Amino acid sequence: MAEYMKKCMYIIGAGFAGRMLAKEICQKKLFGEVAAFLDDDPELIGKTLDGIPVLGPIAHFTSFLRHTERDEAIIAIPSAPKERISEIYNLLTKSGFSRIRILPSVSQIVDGDAHLIQTREIDPLDILGRTPVTIPLKESLQYLRGKRVLITGAGGSIGSEIARQLLSGGASRLYIFGHGENSIYQIDKELRLLQKEGVGEKATIVPVIGELKDRQYMFHIMDKLKCDAVFHCAAYKHVPLMEENPVAVIENNVFGTKNILDASLAAGVKKFVLISTDKAVKPVCTYGVSKLLCEKLLLQASKKAASDSSFMFVRFGNVIGSRGSILPLFNAQIKTGGPLTVTDPEVKRFFMTIPEACSLVLQSGGVGKNGTPYLLDMGEPIKILAIAEEVIRMYGFEPYKDVDIKFIGLRKGERMDEPLWTEEENPQKTAYNKILALQNTHDIHTIDEILCELSPVCIYNETDKQAYRNQELLKKILQKYVPTLL
Task: Give 99's pLDDT tier (boundaries 50, 70, 90).
Answer: confident
Query: What does CATH list as the number for 137-437?
Result: 3.40.50.720
pLDDT digits (tens, 9 = 90+) for 43-83: 999 999 989 999 999 998 887 776 677 789 999 988 788 88
Instruction: From 378, 361, 372, select the one nearest 317 (Cα to Cα).
Output: 378
The yes-or-no answer on residue 279 being catalytic is: yes
Alpha-helical segments (H) within 199-244: 215-225, 239-244
Contacts of 318 (CB under 8 A, 6+ apart): 278, 325, 349, 350, 351, 352, 418
φ, ψ for residue 310, nearest 5 deg: -135, 110
Q: How many CB atoms lie within 10 A of CB 73?
A: 27
Q: What is the pLDDT of residue 324?
A: 63
**Range(s) within the chain of domains with CATH label 3.40.50.720:** 2-126, 137-437
Integer Cα distance of 322 and 300 in angstroms: 29
Tell me the CB-side half-sphere exposure of residue 257, using CA atoms within 13 A.
Answer: 31
pTM (predicted TM-score): 0.89
Strands 52-55 and 72-75 turn out to be: unpaired
User: Per-residue pLDDT averaged across 122-146, rounded?
Assistant: 79
Integer Cα distance of 74 and 121 in angstroms: 9
Nearest-10 crossing angle of helices 384-394, 326-335: 40
Tell me the CB-side half-sphere exposure of residue 88, using CA atoms within 13 A.
Answer: 28
Q: How many CB atoms lie within 10 A of CB 393?
A: 16
275 pLDDT more than 60: yes
Q: What is the pLDDT of residue 248?
A: 98
In Å, how far are 67, 98, 308 from 64, measured between CA atoms?
10, 16, 62
481 pLDDT more than 90: yes
Catalytic residue selected from 279, 291, 296, 434: 279
Most confident of 25-29, 241-245, 393-397: 241-245
Integer Cα distance of 277 and 255 in angstroms: 17
Integer Cα distance of 151 and 116 in angstroms: 26
The residues that bridge with 8 in the sheet, in sequence order, are 33
Strands 204-209 and 340-342 turn out to be: unpaired
217 pLDDT more than 90: yes
Integer Cα distance of 411 and 29 in angstroms: 51
Task: Give 291's pLDDT tier (boundaries 50, 70, 90).
Answer: very high
Task: Give 2's pLDDT tier (boundaries 50, 70, 90).
Answer: very low
Integer Cα distance of 375 and 352 in angstroms: 13
420 pLDDT more than 90: yes
Peptide bond into 381 cis (omega under 30): no
Integer Cα distance of 113 and 427 in angstroms: 35
264 pLDDT more than 60: yes
| Burial of 22 per CB tally in 10 Å (0-12, 13-18, 19+) | buried
Q: What is the pLDDT of residue 441?
A: 92
pLDDT digits (tens, 9 = 90+) for 16-43: 889 999 998 888 776 788 999 999 999 9
Integer Cα distance of 468 and 458 in angstroms: 6
Looking at the domain covering 2-126, what would its CATH class be? alpha beta
User: Per-residue pLDDT averaged across 256-283, rounded?
Assistant: 98
Q: What is the pLDDT of residue 70?
A: 77
Integer Cα distance of 207 and 221 in angstroms: 12
φ, ψ for residue 127, nearest 5 deg: -125, 0
Task: Give 1's pLDDT tier (boundaries 50, 70, 90).
Answer: very low
Integer Cα distance of 14 and 36 in angstroms: 9
